[in-house]
Structure 1
Amino acid sequence: MKKGYLYIAVATVLFSTMEIAIKLTGGIFNPIQITFLRFALGGLCLLPLVIKKMQKTTQKLTAKDIRFFCLTGFFCVVISMILFQLAIGYTKASTVAIIFSCNPVFVITFAALFLKEKLAGLTIVSIIVSMLGIIVIINPLKLSDPLGILLAILAAITFAIYSVISRYGTKKYHYDGILITCFSFIFGSLELLVLICLTHLPLIATKFIAMDLPAFANVPIFSGITISALPILLYLGIGVTGIGFSSYFLAMDNVGVSLASLVFFIKPALAPILAWIILGESINLYTAIGIIIILIGSLLTFIASREIPKVTLLNEKTAKPR
């Protein structure tokens, strides 16, 4: 359990700086290009650890495994993270961080519906409280960047789908957090690379330009990588993407979906503060109130996660023999 809390802490800090680090690239990279580079780096960074672990267990990748990782990689890298990257281009980093943190609402709901994971009544209350805090921060009555907000919401939903599919893989196929993260990133990056190559076809490039979507036409792969841009790229790829995501899924393995979701309940409170310190993005009254509400919701999630095992044990003791 203590190890699970450490994974949560590491993932929370790294994820809370993700949008800030992307903003700091200053538009050097195409949004699709930076998504490919950071997930390819993250996957390759974890590969030696995964290979070593697979050698110890004599585990080998089968066609079934590859199909599974192509699916998780598609939802994470190709869909969710592209939407996420585009959202950062249309609105503030802190706003995207807050909205993306809604994904545990969908993760917990999908896990309860499809994986039959237990939901304590307090968990439902914590979700409502945390969502209220996020709504207060977004302040929907004064929306200034509706497209950016919509893209961030879609990114959160698709990331939740990726998380639940990954959780299913850990239960049915016994994949561990690092293995599933590594191969999802690698296969997702390969899928994205194929799509990037297709954007160089004149017919497709012309079509995207005509649709006023130049970011999807002639997407570069390695251009823009300079000595000055390398540190932030390595931080995004190895730090945030490799270590951050693997810590999140290791937390799920150790303490379950509900408690691991604290990462995304604390992030909306921490990310605006870091964005204020690093980027100078202002924290208004609504943001401050929302942060306090989200922290209350996080505390309720923590309490609820400790109550679920007690309820399960009580049910087992009082169950009538067949």
Structure 2
Amino acid sequence: MQAYAYIFILAGAALWGLIGIFVQKLSSLGFTPFQIVAIRVITAAVILVVYTVWKNSALLKIKAKDSKYFIGTGIISVVFFNWCYFTAIEETSLSVAAILLYTGPAFVVLLSRFFFQESLTSRKLLSLGLTLVGCALVVGLIPGGGHKVSTYGILVGLGSGLGYALYSIFGKFALGTYQSLTITTYTFVFASAVMLPASQLWNSLNLLLNWEVLWYGLGLGFFPTVLAYLLYTFGLSLVESSKASITATVEPIVAALVGIFVFGEVLHSWQTAGIMLILASIFLIQKSSQVSDLDTMQEQQKIQA
């Protein structure tokens, strides 16, 4: 079943990698990063509530005391990391911002060790190391010179990584009580409750009535948001949060390809090497899971014998 979990996680992460197409367009139409976050979460919340009511309205029932999980996934994670990520795209580039976002697995590995007592295996640490070196190569920290990234761009990029990591942590806690659809829906309902008044989108009503804005706003809310989060959260329910996070580093690869083929961005040779290291880290963490599953089967066979 874990093999299918990785497929769901990879599919969700690939959809996240397409987000730059919608962000760049909405930015060019006159929206700020904060407003784009609002468009994303509000559209997603409406889609999810309508779909959940249609599928099974009972899934919308939650206990008041569990609101803390959705404050975590929706406000502390989604709102914060989206603002950081969209700002990083403006400060750097789509591909660099996406790679900085994927310092997230480092935060997830450390936090998962603390909260869930997930083991720090040699393969997991090696995968994490490859991911971080890959990120450093892509943003030009290694070998230095050439491709420059502003300090502010790096800081907001790292902030997006921390915010992204917190979704896996809060989401894992919530999965002990609720289904992935419930978690995803309330994540965006809580995020919308903050973003709607804070963004004051009604002041941009003339822009919102533009058919291009409606089209790209709906696309942003559905493809790299609703569908992506549903796929990732379901996969997260089946594997360790640290492994899910490292596997999802396929997103910056997709984002980098979008940057190259859609927006004409250019990657240097060391950035290409960084991409290869990230792909290698995904391969290692999946092999680690397979080895762990095999060990578990062998132990069960010994007990039965």
Distance of 2:115 and 2:298 partners within structure 1: 24
Counterpart residue number, 1:47: 49
Alpha-carbon spacing, 1:152–1:43, altered in 2? closer, same or farther (3 Å): same
The one-letter amino acid of 1:166's match is G
Alpha-carbon spacing, 1:311–1:117, altered in 2? closer, same or farther (3 Å): farther
- Give the CA deviation at 1:136: 1.1
Counterpart residue number, 1:170: 175
Q: How does 1:108-147 map to 2 (within 5 A)?
A: 108-140=109-141, 141-142=144-145, 143-147=148-152
Q: Does the aligned pair in 2 maintain the 1:120–1:307 contact within 8 Å? A: no
Distance of 1:221 and 1:79 partners within structure 2: 22
Q: Choose 96-105 or 69-78, whichever is displaced more.
A: 69-78
- Give the CA deviation at 1:263: 4.5
Counterpart residue number, 1:65: 66
The one-letter amino acid of 1:120's match is T
Counterpart residue number, 2:233: 249
Alpha-carbon spacing, 1:125–1:315, altered in 2? closer, same or farther (3 Å): farther
Counterpart residue number, 1:188: 191
The one-letter amino acid of 1:148's match is G
The one-letter amino acid of 1:186's match is V
Q: Choose 59-68 or 106-115, whichever is displaced more.
A: 59-68
Q: How does 1:1-322 map to 2 (within 5 A)?
A: 1=1, 2-25=3-26, 26-51=28-53, 55=57, 60-140=61-141, 141-142=144-145, 143-171=148-176, 174-196=177-199, 220=203, 222-225=205-208, 226-311=210-295
- Give the CA deviation at 1:151: 0.2
Q: Choose 156-165 or 43-52, whichever is displaced more.
A: 43-52
| Percent of matched pairs sharing the same residue | 23
Distance of 1:316 and 1:169 partners within structure 2: 29
The one-letter amino acid of 2:175's match is T
Residue deviations 1:104-132, cap 9 Å, x none? Answer: 22112211221112333211111111211
Distance of 2:241 and 2:289 partners within structure 1: 9
Distance of 1:49 and 1:27 partners within structure 2: 29
What is the TM-score normalised by the length of structure 2?
A: 0.87
Residue deviations 1:234-266, cap 9 Å, x none? Answer: 111111111111211111113332442245322
Gaps of 5+ in 2: none
Q: Choose 234-243 or 104-113, whichever is displaced more.
A: 104-113
RMSD of aligned residue pairs (Cα, Å): 2.5
Q: Choose 245-254 or 220-229, whichever is displaced more.
A: 220-229
The one-letter amino acid of 2:66's match is D
Residue deviations 1:45-80, cap 9 Å, x none? Answer: 1223434565467x7222113343223211123322
Equivalent position SS for 1:85: helix
- Give the CA deviation at 1:281: 0.5
Q: Choose 186-195 or 302-311, whichever is displaced more.
A: 302-311
Q: Does the aligned pair in 1 maintain the 2:246–2:285 contact within 8 Å? A: yes
Q: Number of residues paired by the alignment?
A: 296
Alpha-carbon spacing, 1:262–1:20, altered in 2? closer, same or farther (3 Å): farther
Distance of 1:178 and 1:260 partners within structure 2: 18
Residue deviations 1:181-211, cap 9 Å, x none? Answer: 11011111112223335xxxxxxxxxxxxxx
Q: Does the aligned pair in 1 maintain the 2:42–2:196 contact within 8 Å? A: no
The one-letter amino acid of 1:224's match is L
Distance of 1:29 and 1:40 partners within structure 2: 15
Q: Does the aligned pair in 1 maintain the 2:74–2:191 contact within 8 Å? A: yes
Q: Does the aligned pair in 1 maintain the 2:168–2:245 contact within 8 Å? A: no
Distance of 2:4 and 2:51 partners within structure 1: 18
Q: Choose 256-265 or 155-164, whichever is displaced more.
A: 256-265
